[in-house]
Amino acid sequence: MPADRVCYTLDSTLETVNSAEEAAGRKAAEAGFDEEEVMQISMAVREAAINAVLHGNAYDPSKKVTIAFERTPRDLVIVVCDQGKGLDASRIPDPLAPDNLMKTSGRGIFLIRSFMDEVEIHPSQTGTELRMIKHVHGNPADPKEAVQ
């Protein structure tokens, strides 16, 4: 099966987050995921888009968020990129730590990692790329391939 790829460019507004979530739901359903998995994938993309708009681009109207969906024979690969200063993943607070239980910061990445099979964060001076992978049914991942 050939890879199927589509890319969206969104404004840095919270209104565009709904568009990203809806697109993720469509792509996940087309890839054959069940209702619960479609919801999880949609929520992961929503959280990634919120992070890109809010933390990455800081609502700057001159900056964009790109979201790419690629369906390969084994996976649904979703890449969300912002044009911010780059994310220091080591500074993301652990939402399960006792001191952070009542704080909202860090929950988005936690949810993304919970819902997706693989998550990679690639920061740079020109933005952050968040790569999320959900394995398609019938194609279990080699545990050695998983990257957190």
Q: Write the single-letter amino acid at 64.
A: K
Please tell us whether the domain made up of 4-143 is placed in CATH 3.30.565.10. yes
CA neighbours closer than 13 Å in the CB half-sphere of residue 84: 25
Taking the CA atoms of 4, 111, 43 and 139 in sequence, report the sign of the dihedral they define: positive
pLDDT at residue number 92:
65
Domain ranges for the chain, please list them.
4-143
Low-confidence spans in the chain with pLDDT less than 70: 1-3, 87-107, 138-148
Query: How distant, in Å, are the alpha carbons of 17, 126, 130, 137 from that of 67?
Result: 11, 16, 10, 23
What is the Cα–Cα distance from 138 to 120, expressed in whole angstroms?
23
pLDDT at residue number 137:
77
Assign residue 22 a region (left: φ > 0; alpha: ψ between -120 and 50; beta: otherwise): alpha
